[in-house]
Amino acid sequence: MFTIEQVLQPETLEEAYQALHGNISNTVLGGCAFLRLGSKKIATAIDLSELKLDYILEPGKEIEIGAMTTFRTVETHPTLHQLFNGVLPKSVSNIIGVQFRNVVTVGATVYSKYGFSDLLTALLALDTEVELYKGGRLPLEEFLQKSFPKDILTRLFIQKNARKASYQSMRNSLSDYPILTIAVSELNQRWRIVVGARPLRAQLASKASEALSNSKLTAEDIEQSASLAVEELSFGSNIRGSAEYRKAMCKVLVKRGIMEVLQCK
Amino acid sequence: MKYVGKGLPKLDGIRIATGQPVYTEDLTPANTLVVKILRSPHAFARIKTIDTSQAAALEGVACVLTHQDVPKVRFTLAGQSYPEPSPYDRYILDEIVRYVGDEVAIIAAVDEKTAIRAMALVKVDYEVFDPVLDFETAAEHPSVVHPEADLACNIDIGLQQEKNIVCSHINEVGDVEQELAQCDVVVEETYYIQAQAHAMMETYRAVSYLDHTGRLVVTSSTQIPFHVRRQLARALQLPASRIRVIKPRIGGGFGGKQTGCVEVFAALVTQKTGQPAKIVLDRRETFTSTTSRHAMRLKVRIGADKEGFIRALDIEGLSDTGAYGEHAPTVFWVVGEKTLPLYNKTRAVRYHGQVVYTNKMPAGALRGYGATQGTFALECAVNKLAEKLNLDPAELRLKNLIKEGETALAYHGKRLGSSTLHQCIEKGKELIGWQEKYPRKEMGNNKVRAVGMAVTMQGSGIAGIDTASAEIRLNDDGSYTLLLGSTDMGTGSDTILAQMAAEVLETTLDQIVVYAADTDISPFDPGSYASSTTYVTGMAVVKAAQDVKSRIIQQGANFLETTVEEVTFDGQLLHAGDKSMTLEKLAELSILGSGKLQLVGHGTYGSNVSPPPYVAGFAEVEVDQETGKTTLLDYVAVVDCGTVINPTLARIQVEGGIVQGIGLALYEDVKYDTKGTLLTNSFMQYKIPCRKDIGNIRVAFEESHEPTGPFGAKSIGEVVINTPAPAIAHAVYNAVGVSVTKLPITPEKVFMGMQK
Amino acid sequence: MQIETTINGKKITLEVANDELLSDALRAKGYLSIRQGCDTSCCGLCTVWIDGKPTLSCSTLAFRVRDKQITTIEGVAQQAEEFAQVLVAEGAEQCGFCSPGFIMTVLAMKHELKNPTEQEIIHYLTGNLCRCTGYMGQLRAIKKYLGGA
Ligand SMILES: Cc1cc2nc3c(=O)[nH]c(=O)nc-3n(C[C@H](O)[C@H](O)[C@H](O)COP(=O)(O)OP(=O)(O)OC[C@H]3O[C@@H](n4cnc5c(N)ncnc54)[C@H](O)[C@@H]3O)c2cc1C
Ligand code: FES
Ligand code: FES
């Protein structure tokens, strides 16, 4: 369990940002489920609750998700059920339980770039951008690949489009962390294949995606790009599975993802 | 019968379900010290120096205790009747620490925060040794886990300290090697069962204080109040008469609380400071520093003749007891006791092997108690034998299993009093649809469905050893008080025992107050373990009820001025000719008036047999051939527990046990790192089944009548956990031809097996 | 710090430490129905409602419930007992230690979902672990309760 010396409930993001840079151990609080597992000694805990970042809006061509939005809100949001064949709700729906998903937040999850993250895998298959308070707006993929100075994630933006998508995860007990996660999507014959929990963080299998996009989508093409995904990404072992098993599952789940997208209306 | 056989709700049901403060921690007195334990980060080390001065000086700290502060008397925490077969191999705190999580120092402070702060101030310098982590090579390892000279055993259990062998055992009837050599078909396989965690929802906890006479009172979430009292007496060097142990409601036990994991730490603090003290283990400590199931390697050889009669059975075991020997010999013996007698067409049977110490968390009692491990190995081997014989595995069993009235080599002539196991198998086949589904069915989409089965036996109480007593008194208002020392841990045993008393006394349940368990007030009972409460304590209750009833009739005869033979008693009224008296009046006159005799009935019972309950378990699974993932679709358990005293509670026992068995079969993996630190130390890493993991479970009973049991009852608590692992393993094998011999059956193991 | 909050309909001032968890704060205040089964947010035993939503009190910092409505099983005693009657008739409160959190989740589900299917019931309650009962009896009780209520 972490300890907190001081609590700050800033009224502006600027104030929060300044506080974050005040002391090395100052920390932004999300839902705290993950922070709780550690024993961090937090000097100032920065609680974003007053900043009204708990929302999902769809003002125009985008869906906007505030950093403090909980997984349960994502899971039950009507528009998110309709868009992209419901991959976002589907990706979070196996995580522990309802009362847990009423706690954990989207912002913390994306900012922390967890390797096991179901949500990140799904988000990366969509046209997602993140907004950092100082770092500004940038594609999720770029955010995941590079490292940035300590910042606050404020919002996510997802292009509202006709992308079809599929989410697949491999778990032993259904409330366990995933052994592997896959998201596949297609828009205008451009495909995206994303693999997470390798156990490294979600990554776009760009060669496989490219090959699939340029193919005729025959059974062999699908097989081929699934194999490509396995080749181009790296896989590791942890207590949930070996690299070898993950590679094998990557191939299976990518195929299943593609097939599911092909069947989507 | 009016009460026996009725699915009545539990007496405490509504109150516990709605969150009333009736558990140990809820009963903490004000101003109680909080006890925390500093634990070893090393798997094997000696404490060179330990400096507690800074910690002790911290404001709010009441005491910091180390190995220098405890009596140098070795004892066991195993809850067993004296003389315990478990070795006396631990001090409250020792200079040598034997696993990651072993106790180094006890810190007591005014609140948790202070205790934790103090813990960080204790300075320990360790001399680190090479730990024994692999139980398969423990006997040859140069390190000796227990080098001490004062380790003691009450009975000869085959201890070889310098070889890390805590127990050696052999039980052979006939000549196994010779019989195996004569068999037409022999199968051989080695199986591994992991160190399952109990994972009861209420972690270990105890609260201690001194009463108005200075006696030590310990309220504890325990299955064994009387054994805890004896342990404390030895460990703290106090007369047992100076100790009182109270068991309130318990949030689950599953055998874990048959070991006294925490009481002694709180009690020592109270003894040293005179202040109330409480210890509540967190979930991580519960995973890392208490006990688990004994991990085992079991090598089975089983042989049959051409006709399909099993003629020889040999099981060689190796059991990992971890750092201390709680329940080490007894769990090991039970593996053989609950497997060898099942198939009784044998001409020779043998069970033999060793239990070793390692530098890991100690193992202890867990539901099934060795029978679970033995059943997995034996039943997997029997399924393999059936295939080799080209026989339906159900047929093979029907042909070879012991029947009521028969004996087995391991029974040495004693006959089996009751069994409907054959009917259980028939019924189970029907319910699961064995005829249509065995062995497999392709579902398309790379999915295959298949069925598998296993049978098992357990015991009911420990024959010739455990003896329970019960007392029933007639109160001044005509109601009864039933005093028990058994420990309802959610099982509903208080209710079931009251049902039995009500049946004998022909009264209603609301006329019986059940009080359990408190060593100052309750009659002696070893506690609730070894599936003993319904059977052993149940018989004691029946006897006590009969005793008080005959005293009532006797007293009635006195008041009605007639002979006992003339009096009839229907539970409310005593009649003799045209004279009658209500029970209430009789009670009033006896206690307050001219009778001058409070009527109390006593019953004590110990059985010289431990009649086995049986289960036939059937699993239907769907295996994804591309991923190796097994989905359990349906589980059918048909149970012979003798007479079912309370069908509602019995059914829940079965369902709960099956799910715990499913966890063992599919999900509950135990992993250590190379230094001996347990990695699966939380519900995040150690996955007990959640609601989505279990499929459908169906339960049926095939009642038998056990002549030695109360109303014909046997037991049910443990036997129900044994079949899922072998039945699911069998179904998986039937689906994809992969035989997983090392539990749990993970998708990866199945998948990798399919690649071979 | 001091916060104002509402527990079971009553406005209350709580003195809480910065890093105090709601579960601990509630138990300290005498709401002993709050049980904890883990330290990793996995078991659901500590479930209470915050503004009507089932939430893990063990994973919620106490200061964050300022100006919120907290409901524990003590606050819905009548509904809880109605359901408990059905649960107990099934024998599906075994040790009872998981029951308060479980019942709070069941009641929340009843408010949130109309005529849930068996799948939806199981999904909604997956975060409530129970080691005793094997879940089947709990499911039977919920179906009876929803069917009859
Ligand atoms: C037991 C358990 C099981 C889980 N299982 C899964 C699973 O199966 N699949 C899965 O995908 N995930 C799983 N998770 C992760 C979970 O879904 C969340 O991703 C995780 O808990 C983080 O969310 P939080 O709100 O709890 O973050 P917190 O614990 O509050 O914060 C995590 C980190 O993010 C920082 N942070 C918070 N908000 C911001 C912000 N706006 N900007 C910058 N930094 C911020 C914090 O300072 C902290 O360092 C699990 C977590 C737990 C505890
Ligand atoms: S106590 Fe386990 S989830 Fe809250
Ligand atoms: S009834 Fe014991 S944990 Fe659910």
Q: For atom 3 of ligand 3, which residue has the closest CA? A: C130
Task: Encode chain A in three state secondary structure.
Answer: CCEEEEEECCCCHHHHHHHHCCCCCCEEECCCCCHHHCCCEEEEEEEHHHHCCCCEECCCCEEEEECCCEHHHHHHCHHHHHHHHHHHHHHHCCCCCHHHHCCCEHHHHHHHCCCCCHHHHHHHCCCEEEEECCCEEEEHHHHHHCCCCCCCEEEEEEECCCCEEEEEEECCCCCCCCCEEEEEEEECCEEEEEEECCCCCCEECHHHHHHHHCCCCCHHHHHHHHHHHHHHCCCCCECCECHHHHHHHHHHHHHHHHHHHHHCC
- Is C63 within 8 Å of A93 when comparing Cβ atoms? no
Q: Which residues of chain B carry a pLDDT beneath 50? A: none
Identify the helix (H) or strand (E) that includes residue B105.
Answer: strand B103-109
Q: Is A188 exposed, middle or buried (0-12, 13-18, 19+ CB in 10 A)?
A: exposed
Residue of B621, B690, B728, B750 to mutate when probing chain A, most A C-beta within 10 A: B690
Q: By the CB < 8 Å criterion, does B188 face chain A?
A: no
Which DSSP letter does residue B420 get?
A: -
Neighbours of chain B (3+ CB pairs under 8 A): A, C
Q: Say if the Cβ atoms of B685 and A242 lie within 8 Å.
A: no
Q: Which two tokens stand for residue B699?
A: 């339960």
Ligand 1: distance of its center to the CA of A244 in Å? 28
pLDDT at C148: 66
Interface predicted TM-score (ipTM) of this complex, two decimals: 0.98
Residue with tokens 């022909």: B506
Judging contacts by C-beta atoms under 8 Å, the chain A residues touching residue B690 are 173-175
Which DSSP helix (H) or strand (E) runs through B280? strand B277-280
Rounded Cα distance between B338 and A156, Å, is 60
Say how far apart CA B180 and CA B324 lie, in whole Å: 36
Of A241, A24, A255, the C-alpha closest to A115 is: A241
Binding site membership of A31 for ligand 1 (Cβ less than 6 Å):
yes
Tokens of B258: 């048959």
Is the beta carbon of C17 within 6 A of some atom in ligand 2? no
Check if the beta carbon of residue B726 is closer than 8 Å to that of residue B375.
yes
Question: Is C38 a pocket residue for ligand 2 (Cβ < 6 Å)?
Answer: yes
CA distance linking residue C34 with residue C6, whole number of Å: 16
**DSSP assignment letter at C101:** H
Peptide bond into B517 cis (omega under 30): yes
Considering all CA atoms of chain A, what is the largest pairwise distance in Å, rounded to the nearest integer? 60
Pocket test for ligand 3, best of B12, B23, B201 (most atoms within 8 A of CB): B201
E strand spans, chain C: 2-7, 10-15, 47-50, 53-56, 69-71
C149 lines ligand 2 (CB under 6 A): no
0.80 cut: is pTM over it? yes
Inter-chain touch C127–A100, beta carbons under 8 Å: yes
Cis preceding linkage at B707, omega within 30: no
Supply the DSSP symbol for C132.
S
Cis peptide leading into residue C116 (ω within 30°): no
Delineate the domains of chain B, giving CATH numbers in brackets: 15-129+198-288 (3.90.1170.50), 132-196+295-410 (3.30.365.10), 417-459+612-756 (3.30.365.10), 462-605 (3.30.365.10)
Half-sphere exposure in the Cβ direction for B39 (13 Å, CA): 18
CB atoms within 10 A of CB A76: 16
Adjacent-strand bridge partners of B50: B124
Predicted pLDDT of residue B506: 97
- The closest CB to that of B667, out of A173, A241, A242, belongs to A173
Return the HEC string of B298-352.
EEEEEEECCCCCEEEEEEEEEEEEECCCCCHHHHHHHHHHCCCCCECCCCEEEEE
For ligand 1, atom 16, the nearest C-alpha belongs to: A104
Name the pLDDT band for C129 (thresholds 50, 70, 90): very high
Is C5 in a helix, a strand, or coil? strand
> Where are chain C's structural domains?
2-74, 76-148
Mutate which of C97, C104, C136, C138 for ligand 3? The one with the most ligand atoms within 8 Å of its CB, which is C97
In which residue are the tokens 């706690």 written? A103
What are the phi and psi torsion angles at B219 (to 5°)?
-95, 125
* Bridge partners (DSSP) listed for residue A29: A47
Helix (H, G, I), strand (E, B) or coil at B366: coil
Query: For residue B613, how many C-alpha atoms fall within 13 Å in the half-sphere facing its CB?
Result: 35
Q: Is B148 exposed, middle or buried (0-12, 13-18, 19+ CB in 10 A)?
A: middle
What are the angstrom distances between the C-alpha of B380 and each of A54, B51, B375, B455, B743? 54, 53, 8, 10, 12
Cβ of A105 less than 6 Å from ligand 1? yes
The class of domain A164-263 in CATH terms is alpha beta
Please state the domain extents for chain A: 2-49, 56-159, 164-263
The preferred substitution site among C90, C99, C128 for testing ligand 3, maximizing ligand atoms within 8 Å of CB, is C99
* pLDDT score, position A142: 98
CB contact under 8 A, B201 and C43: yes
Query: C29 pLDDT band (50/70/90 cuts)?
Result: very high
| Minimum Cα–Cα distance from B203: chain C residue | C37
**Closest alpha carbon to A112 in A41, A182, A33:** A33
Neighbours of A (≥3 Cβ pairs closer than 8 A)? B, C
Residue B691 touches chain C, beta carbons under 8 Å: yes
Q: Over 90: is that where the pLDDT of A131 sits?
A: yes
Q: Which residues of C touch A (CB under 8 A)?
A: 1, 18-19, 21, 39-42, 44, 47, 50, 53-56, 59-61, 63-64, 105, 108, 123-128
A179 in contact with B, Cβ within 8 Å: yes
Q: Which amino acid is at B560?
A: L
Helix-helix angle B371-389:B328-337, to 10 degrees: 30
Each residue's pLDDT tens digit, B318-353: 999 999 999 999 999 999 999 999 999 999 999 999
Spatial contact of B495 and B8, defined as CB atoms under 8 Å apart: yes
Q: Is the distance from the beta carbon of residue C56 to the nearest atom of ligand 2 less than 6 Å?
A: yes
| Cβ–Cβ gap C18/A4 under 8 Å | yes
Q: What CATH number does the domain located at A56-159 have? A: 3.30.465.10
Residue B667 touches partner A, C-beta closer than 8 Å: yes
pLDDT at residue number A265: 67
Give the closest residue to B393 by CA, choosing from B654, B10, B734: B734
Ligand 3 site, CB within 6 A: B 201, 252, 490; C 93-98, 130-133
Cβ of residue A245 closer than 8 Å to a chain B Cβ = yes
d(CA A69, CA A103): 9
User: Top-level CATH class of C76-148?
Assistant: mainly alpha
Whole-angstrom distance, CA of residue A229 vs CA of residue B477: 80
Portion 34-53 of A in contact with B at CB < 8 A? 37
Q: Which CATH class is domain C2-74?
A: alpha beta
Which residue of B7, B648, B691 is in closest CB contact with C122? Answer: B691
Residues B63-72: tens digit of each pLDDT: 999 999 999 9
CB contact under 8 Å between B693 and A174, yes or no, is: yes
Residue B594 is predicted with a pLDDT of 81
Q: Which ligand is nearest to the CA of A120?
A: 1
Which residues in chain A are contacts of B687 at CB distance < 8 A? 172-173, 175-176
Q: Is A176 on the interface with B (CB under 8 A)?
A: yes
Residues of C whose CB is below 8 A from A5? 18
Q: Is the CB of A13 under 6 A from ligand 1?
A: no
**B627 to A252: CB separation less than 8 angstroms, yes or no:** yes
Nearest-CA distance from C138 to chain B in Å? Answer: 10
Q: How far apart are CA B115 and CA B36, in angstroms?
A: 6
Q: Within an 8 Å CB–CB cutoff, is residue A180 touching chain B?
A: no
